[in-house]
Amino acid sequence: MSGETRYKMSQERYDELVTELDYLQTVREKEVAEQIKEARSFGDLSENSEYDEAKTEQGKLYSKIAEVKVLIENAEIIEKANVATTSVVLGSKVTVKDKEEGVEESYQIVGSQEANPMQGRISDDSPFGKALLGKEKGDMVSVEAPAGILRFKIIDIDN
């Protein structure tokens, strides 16, 4: 277990992966097996593009199943902090104010598996996520970005 990468994720994300794996191994696998069976019935496999496509689809399915299994087997479920904490932790919703532009934005700090910056879900491994972790309301945070140093003030933390 020592060399394995752990994937931090919420219980919800873990449950989604388990559901996805179940779907891939049951419904999807049957569909692909059916495609292969049907393609075989068209005769000569050497010139059978349907068969080639079905086998390619099966290969993709098996690698997706393997990928999801790795995530599940190496999942590290991050529980929301039950302790009353006033600092930023994994799962916190943080409202920050950009010191240059004066714009307020809210983000949730999540594990890298759930990160989606377009939805305001920032990875705890990202420079911004790392800068916020452990900070408290009122703290100033500086983040090095391609555009230069960005400065934010933490306006609110919702644990």
Over the chain (159 residues), what is each successive 10-residue block's mean pLDDT? 69 90 95 92 81 93 94 82 70 90 90 85 89 91 87 90
Domain of 16, CATH number, reads 1.10.287.180
CA distances to 66, 79, 93, 129 from 88, rounded to whole Å, are: 34, 14, 8, 9
Domain of 98, CATH number, reads 3.10.50.30
Range of the domain at 102: 93-158
pTM of the model: 0.58
Number of domains present in the structure of the chain: 2
* Pair 113, 55 in one domain: no
Task: Look at residue 14 and tell me if it is in a domain.
Answer: yes
DSSP three-state, residue 34: helix
Task: Look at residue 54 and tell me if it is in a domain.
Answer: yes
The enclosing H or E element of 143 equals strand 140-145
* Pair 66, 99 in one domain: no
CB of 158 closer than 8 Å to CB of 120:
no
